[in-house]
Amino acid sequence: MADDKEISAPVVDGSDPTGHIISTTIGGKNGEPKQTISYMAERVVGTGSFGIVFQAKCLESGETVAIKKVLQDRRYKNRELQLMRVMDHPNVVSLKHCFFSTTSRNELFLNLVMEYVPETMYRVLKHYSNANQRMPLIYVKLYMYQVKGEANISYICSRFYRAPELIFGATDYTTSIDIWSAGCVLAELLLGQPLFPGENAVDQLVEIIKVLGTPTREEIRCMNPNYTDFRFPQIKAHPWHKVFHKRMPPEAIDLASRLLQYSPSLRCTALEACAHPFFDELREPNARLPNGRPFPPLFNFKQDLSGASPELINRLIPEHVKRQMGLNFLHPAGT
């Protein structure tokens, strides 16, 4: 991947890049030859508060890629870029390279060139809700099992999935904000619609309070010790089993409740979530997709298991996978 300083910066105007050819130079480092790569922007596939994602085709190779174009503050490094550079996992889209571009108004944009995934979870969920159906639980389990538990980043998050400590103005937060977001996604997949659809930050907190009840002083202190405004309506928590439909498996409700806790330290970790009984079906020896095809890789934790207890490791990796991989994990005492 090219070093930031050696990436060309073409001038591109307009928020919709469709039809534009974008050329950039990669290589030129450690004796590597410089190489020009050109992308034809084909269509916008997603827009958000911070930029757009468009589908493009590499003119040299014919490969289809996704390019995420985000406005870059010149004062700061882009933490998403830093994180993407160290990610190497089948369940995370890979970063091919990146380049900067500027507009005639001297705005700087960062372009992340990533592998293209033709389907989104949002579109899959919309397909089922449009047909008045619920997403099959096996798909909910597969999507949710690919929760990431990576190093913290400068936090940017859509409002519906924003952890309450961020709404309370916390600046000293942990990766438990991602666990909250995962809980929001799980609830949305189970419900067919967002659990906390706030229209602004205050409304977002109201939506959370409707379900979790008014946070106690101690819970507010856990979220942000510097928060002093305690004027909240006193609302009782809505029982979790009443949030979801009557036939919802208790394991699904239990996992949602463990992810969506006010106190960040009380939320389970990503590995603990993966070991939850809700995902036991994925660990069955003969488990398959509804069409009979095998699951994607689910047990390639690699370095993620460093520091995990033997008991947790044994819950995470099924016996048939251990035998297949020739792994000899420690068994907890008494098993």
Check whether residue 142 and residue 264 sit in a common domain: yes
Check whether residue 175 and residue 155 sit in a common domain: yes
Higher pLDDT, 302 or 144: 144
Residue 2 belongs to some domain of the structure: no
Residue 3 belongs to some domain of the structure: no
pLDDT over threshold 90, residue 103 = no
Residue 236 belongs to some domain of the structure: yes
What's the domain count of the chain?
3
* 265 backbone dihedrals φ, ψ, rounded to 5°: -70, -20
Mean pLDDT of all residues belonging to the chain = 81
Check whether residue 155 and residue 111 sit in a common domain: no
Domain membership of residue 326 as a residue range = 299-335
Check whether residue 212 and residue 189 sit in a common domain: yes
pLDDT tens digit sequence for 241-284? 999 988 999 999 999 999 999 999 999 998 999 999 999 999 99
Check whether residue 95 and residue 13 sit in a common domain: yes
Check whether residue 155 and residue 281 sit in a common domain: yes
Burial of 64 (0-12, 13-18, 19+ CB in 10 A): middle
Give the residue from 81, 115, 149 where a domain finishes. 115
Could you tell me where the beta strands, DSSP code E, fall in the chain?
Answer: 21-26, 35-47, 51-58, 64-71, 95-102, 108-115
Q: What is the pLDDT of residue 321?
A: 85
Residue 233 belongs to some domain of the structure: yes
Check whether residue 132 and residue 272 sit in a common domain: yes
Residue 1 belongs to some domain of the structure: no
Q: What is the pLDDT of residue 5?
A: 36
Check whether residue 199 and residue 106 sit in a common domain: no
**CATH (domain of 193):** 1.10.510.10
Contacts of the segment 274-277: beta carbons below 8 A, 24+ positions apart: 274/145, 274/147, 274/316, 275/312, 275/315, 275/316, 276/251, 277/251
pLDDT tens digit sequence for 177-215? 889 999 999 999 999 899 999 888 889 999 999 999 999
Query: How is 85-128 classified by DSSP, letter by letter?
Result: HH---TTSPPEEEEEEEE-TT--EEEEEEEE--S--HHHHHHHH
Q: Which residue has the tokens 């372009």?
A: 111
